[in-house]
Amino acid sequence: MNNYLSLSPEVKQALEQGKPVVALESTIISHGMPYPQNVETALRVEQTIRENGAVPATIAIIGGKLKAGCTPEEIEYLGKKGQAITKASRRDLPVLIARGEDGATTVTTTMIIAAMAGIKVFATGGIGGVHRGAEKTMDISADLEELAQTPVMVICAGAKSILDLGLTLEYLETKGVPVIGYGTEELPAFYTRHSGFKVDYRIDTPEELAAAFKAKIDMGLKGGMLVTNPIPEEYSMPADVINKAIDTAIAESVKAGIHGKETTPFLLAKVKELTGGDSLVSNIQLVLNNARLAAKTASALAK
């Protein structure tokens, strides 16, 4: 494994000393936001994690190496190269590694590499899930399968609101993945705090989140845990505004023949355009909010 996995000195030391570490994905840098906001946000997220008592580990594939802990220069590289970097899911890892290429890690591959490194907590924006119209397209994110098998706690602002949230919850239930609402009984929907769907359990403190995840690990139950943390009230977008933008974006993606791994970046970019950039502001704030909670939870788990 050492031939493939590369830990930064800071992350390696933190893990050896039992200090709290939080994994971060890199698709949000290369495919989720435009340059330079993507790099600025990534560095702010890392700083937020440090301010809340943990060590950040931005995860990516660079030159065929699975990196847990990127330097500011590597984050700049990912941000500038942007969508020219492969959006890497589980299926892409063997070929990218064998060819010595770069890859921006999705929720799926960030979980895989975090688990290899021994990192138990991961903060992201939103997870993928069952896409609208999946009964015809079978478009279901690999994130859900990874949550079912890889022992990492994923802290997010819910499933991306471009998805079919009801079917996403049904899928997670079938796979035995606990869906926790942090301070809420309602599933947040990324840009907005409200979806109309209920989570499995409400938990109100990082300490209780850590205790629940520790119990899962101690019992040998496979898979992860999904913690949905609502976007702060002042940055939450009205559900009707965001849903109208999403419906328009989906119609345009169908007309343009967009499918597969191109779907989510296309829809997020179109929603940003339709909302006059408000969705990008919301996106940045929800990621920072998740980073704070992840750092506090990782600290509680380390104790």
Choose, from 25, 46, 76, 146, the residue flagged as catalytic. 25
CA distances from 187 to 26, 107, 190, 192, 198 (A): 25, 18, 9, 10, 5
Marked catalytic residue, from 67, 87, 120, 160: 160
DSSP 154-220: EEESBB-TTB-HHHHHHHHHHTT--EEEET-SB--BTTBS--S-B-SEEE--HHHHHHHHHHHHHTT
Check whether the bond before 36 is cis (ω within 30° of 0).
Answer: yes
Q: Which two tokens stand for residue 217?
A: 């690990």
Across the chain, the runs of DSSP E, i.e. the strands, are: 5-7, 21-24, 55-62, 65-68, 86-88, 103-105, 121-123, 153-156, 179-182, 201-203, 225-228
Q: Characterize 285-301 residue by residue with b for buried, 16 or more Cβ atoms within 10 angstroms of its Cβ, and e for exposed.
A: bbbbbbbbbbbbbbbbb
**CA–CA separation, 156 vs 24, rounded Å?**
11
- Asked whether 128 and 144 are in contact (CB, 8 A), the reply is yes
Residue (of 123, 140, 127, 138) closest to 291 by Cα position: 123
Q: Is 73 tagged catalytic? A: no
**25 belongs to the catalytic site:** yes
Give the integer Cα–Cα distance in Å for 299 and 303: 7
Residues 6+ apart with CB under 8 A from 276: none
C-alpha 270/C-alpha 245 separation (Å) is 8
Amino acid residing at 85: I
By DSSP bridging, strand 55-62 and strand 65-68 are antiparallel
Active site amino acids: 25, 160
